[in-house]
Amino acid sequence: MKTENQKAWFFVLPVLVLVAFNALIPMMTVVNYSVQETFGDNLFFWEGLTWFEQILTSERFHAALGRQFLFTFLILVIEVPLGIAIALSMPRQGPWVPVCLVLMALPMLIPWNVVGAMWNIFALPDIGLLGYTLNHVLGINYDMTQDPLAAWVTIITMDVWHWTSLVVLLSYAGLVSIPDAYYQAAKIDGASNWSVFRYIQLPKMKNVLTIAILLRFMDSFNVYTEPFVLTGGGPGNSTTLLSIDLVKIALGQFDLGPAAAMSLIYFSITLFVSWLFYTLMTKDDLN
């Protein structure tokens, strides 16, 4: 009797078709564009790696990439410690737990473009609540449509407002999974609060934090809607992040070749950094 057959492939087939249809084929189209020049009418001319070279040596790309890294770095540096701190100060039991959890989850439920629009209106210098208060009540000169620094402060604050909750909820999940015995043992061992955090809470949160940081990295590195709605990449190009620049090249200038090359470079960077981070974070777990 034959116990092995190839039938299993049929069960995988629907998934393969689906993935091919929504990911692989569009992706190959991008690859196709990235090595050719097109003038419409489906006329294509082979260009080789010209577009990649052009993008990699372009100052505009360097600047956008720099801004992108700065943005991601800043939000991670703020959101991760802040998220952990909030999670640590949340109650572990009692009637306030669900209240805290729901409050924390609320910002994440708001659609990205709504967040952008909300903050845009909120920050308008003369009519927005924040803008008006800063300018006319506190007397701080704040105009995100004119001042690059103000624009940066605003997009960073908006992202922190929108996404710190994700770090909070994941850290909190890690925290509540620590058995009481650990805290009791630490008390008996005479450990300080810092030691408890450093040697018990942080190691136990490591896995969820890895996921949180990874998610925040990918999301913030690819962020488009919120800063686009809030500042439109301005003033000037000061908040033009990679994705905003990409859309400008692809849809604004209709330079499909360079845009495709840039997409692939962009994708590779995201993938590489995520892989590097994940590998570094989990290499200790192997032994």
Partner 1 sequence: MARITLKDLRHSYMPNPTGPDDYALKEVDVDWEDGGAYALLGPSGCGKSTLLNIISGLLEPSEGQILFDGQDVTALPPDQRNIAQVFQFPVIYDTMTVRQNLAFPLKNRGVAQDVIDRRIADIAEMLEVTDMLDRRAAGLSPDNKQKLSMGRGLVRDDVNVVMFDEPLTVIDPHLKWKLRSKLKELHHRVKATMIYVTHDQTEALTFADQVVVMQLGEVVQIGTPVELFERPGHTFVGHFIGSPGMNVLPAELRDGGAFFRDMNVAVEGAVTAQPGKGIEIGVRPEFVLLGETGIPAKVCRVSDVGRHLVVEAMAGDQKVAAITNGPAPIQGDTVHLQFQPNQTRVYADGWLATEKAAS
* Interaction of residue 190 with partner 1, rule CB under 8 A: yes
Considering the complex, what minimum distance in angstroms separates the CB of residue 193 from partner 1?
Answer: 12
| Cβ 257 vs Cβ 38: under 8 Å | yes
Binding-residue total with partner 1 (CB under 8 A):
18
Which of 77, 105, 106, 185 touches partner 1 (CB under 8 A)? 185
Considering the complex, what minimum distance in angstroms separates the CB of residue 208 from partner 1?
Answer: 15
* Interaction of residue 57 with partner 1, rule CB under 8 A: no
Rounded distance between C-alpha atoms, residue 243 and residue 65, angstroms: 10
Q: Which of residues 35-54 bind partner 1 (CB under 8 A)?
A: none
Q: Identify which of residues 203 and 252 has a Cβ nearer to partner 1 in the complex.
A: 203
Q: Identify which of residues 41 and 284 has a Cβ nearer to partner 1 in the complex.
A: 284
Q: Which of residues 129-168 bind partner 1 (CB under 8 A)?
A: none
Listed ranges 2-10, 184-192, 244-252, 263-271: which one lies at the site for partner 1 (CB under 8 A): 184-192
Rounded distance between C-alpha atoms, residue 257 and residue 254, angstroms: 9
Listed ranges 22-30, 143-151, 200-208, 251-259: which one lies at the site for partner 1 (CB under 8 A): 200-208
Listed ranges 6-14, 104-112, 121-129, 181-189: which one lies at the site for partner 1 (CB under 8 A): 181-189
Listed ranges 39-47, 54-62, 192-200, 208-216: which one lies at the site for partner 1 (CB under 8 A): 192-200
For 117, phi and psi rounded to 5 degrees?
A: -65, -45
Using only the alpha carbons of the chain, give its radius of gyration. 24
Which of 161, 182, 277, 278 touches partner 1 (CB under 8 A)? 182
* Interaction of residue 29 with partner 1, rule CB under 8 A: no
The two tokens of residue 67 are 């801004």
Considering the complex, what minimum distance in angstroms separates the CB of residue 160 from partner 1?
Answer: 29
* Interaction of residue 189 with partner 1, rule CB under 8 A: yes
* Interaction of residue 191 with partner 1, rule CB under 8 A: yes
Residue 216 makes CB contacts below 8 A (sequence gap 6+) with 75, 76, 79, 80, 163, 166, 167
Q: Identify which of residues 203 and 236 has a Cβ nearer to partner 1 in the complex.
A: 203
44 strand-pairing partners: 38
The two tokens of residue 105 are 């989850």
**CA-based end-to-end distance of the chain:** 42
For 36, phi and psi rounded to 5 degrees?
A: -135, 160
Nearest to 82 by CA among 177, 204, 183, 216: 216
* Interaction of residue 287 with partner 1, rule CB under 8 A: yes
- Residue 214 CB burial class (10 angstroms; 0-12, 13-18, ≥19): middle
Rounded distance between C-alpha atoms, residue 153 and residue 216, angstroms: 18
Rounded distance between C-alpha atoms, residue 258 and residue 30, angstroms: 10
Chain-centroid distance, C-alpha 64: 16
- Residue 48 CB burial class (10 angstroms; 0-12, 13-18, ≥19): exposed
Listed ranges 35-43, 70-78, 127-135, 189-197: which one lies at the site for partner 1 (CB under 8 A): 189-197
Q: Identify which of residues 56 and 178 has a Cβ nearer to partner 1 in the complex.
A: 178
The residues of the shown chain that bind partner 1, judged by CB under 8 A, are 179, 181-182, 184-185, 187-192, 195, 199-200, 203-204, 284, 287
